A = this chain, B = another copy of it.
Amino acid sequence: MAATRKRKLPVLALDIGGTKIITALISPKGEMLAREYSLTLADEGPEAVIRRIFSAIDHLLALRNMTLGQLEALSIAAAGPIDMAGGTVSDSPNLPGWRNIPLRNIVKDRFGIDTYLINDAKAAVLGEHRFGAGQGVNNLIYITVSTGIGGGIIANGKLYFGESGGAGEVGHMTIDINGPACSCGNIGCWETLASGKALAREAIRRLSAGEKSSLIDMAAGRIENITAKEVSLAAQSGDSLAQSVIARTAYYLGVGLVNLVNIFNPEVIIIGGGLSKMGDLLLLEPARQVVRERAFPLLAQAVRIVPAKLGDDAGVFGAAVFAFQPR
């Protein structure tokens, strides 16, 4: 009886990214009852970010005029590898200074209700699998391509955690052994070539070398501030430098996808994250073409490479799915 009553309560889910924090109230049926954004300001370090997490939770409850007793649980999706046993963020390339921070207990101690912690890309794959582009699929990889590249794996119908909960760091496979150093300590990671950061860096490099582009006007001359978003807008307006930079990124994206197809033989690969908003023509179709040309034919034929459906909300949906799972 108590269990039945509890399941009707929503989860307050958070997605802590390198750039922003999303806070959402999600019902067991997947209804988004409320949603707020705030900035992570990750450069200020873990203590400041944790204060903002507390305040984001308080804020959403205040907005909805709710108490903690009206929640099933708190559930947090966070960037970087998570030690599932300890509930700690062990090491996050996109959250500077986070090393072995026991975020689950820190939040649980402050609010006093059940609290879950899961890697943001794992949360996103759970969200897309249950409510998005991966419904009913047994072998599925979700890739989030934004500032960095994260991933989550559904194998034989279940989220795959690996031995210590850290599986799915697909952004940190070397695809260019002579490539750039990655913030994770590895060399030539997929993320250093196919992420939003890599895309912007390449545009800035070419503009600094004197190439012409409408990006220079868009940035009012401050080309060092150009991000993937501006490059995408310029490309859509026909800017040839922007298009060429995105074509290169799409190629690198495809090379990493070939690796995942050959290793996993998935039925579906879902591409989410900021860069996926560039859409099929600029990004996904050229990447699919690389897969068709280079992956084992049997495996290339088996896979559908599709955009995510839940957008930025995959992480909070998935954090909620994780909290609602029977234990």
Chain A residues with a Cβ under 8 A of chain B: 81, 83, 90-91, 138-139, 151, 155-156, 158, 160-170, 172-179, 184-188, 193, 252, 255-256, 258-259, 262-267, 293-299, 301-303
Contact = CB atoms under 8 A, between A and B. Distances in A.
B155 A160 contact: yes
A302 B160 CA distance: 15
A165 B179 CA distance: 33
A294 B173 contact: no
B174 A259 contact: yes
A84 to B, nearest CB: 10
Contact of A167 (B178, B259, B264): B264
Q: Is the interface of A mostly helix, strand, loop or mixed?
A: loop
30 contacts: A81-B296, A81-B298, A90-B297, A91-B297, A138-B163, A139-B162, A139-B167, A151-B263, A155-B155, A163-B302, A164-B265, A166-B265, A166-B299, A168-B263, A169-B262, A169-B263, A169-B265, A170-B263, A173-B258, A174-B175, A174-B255, A174-B256, A174-B259, A174-B294, A175-B177, A177-B179, A177-B255, A178-B178, A186-B258, A186-B262
Contacts of A163: 138-139, 265-267, 302-303
Contacts of A177: 175-176, 179, 188, 193, 252, 255
Nearest to A173: B259
A9 B256 CA distance: 46
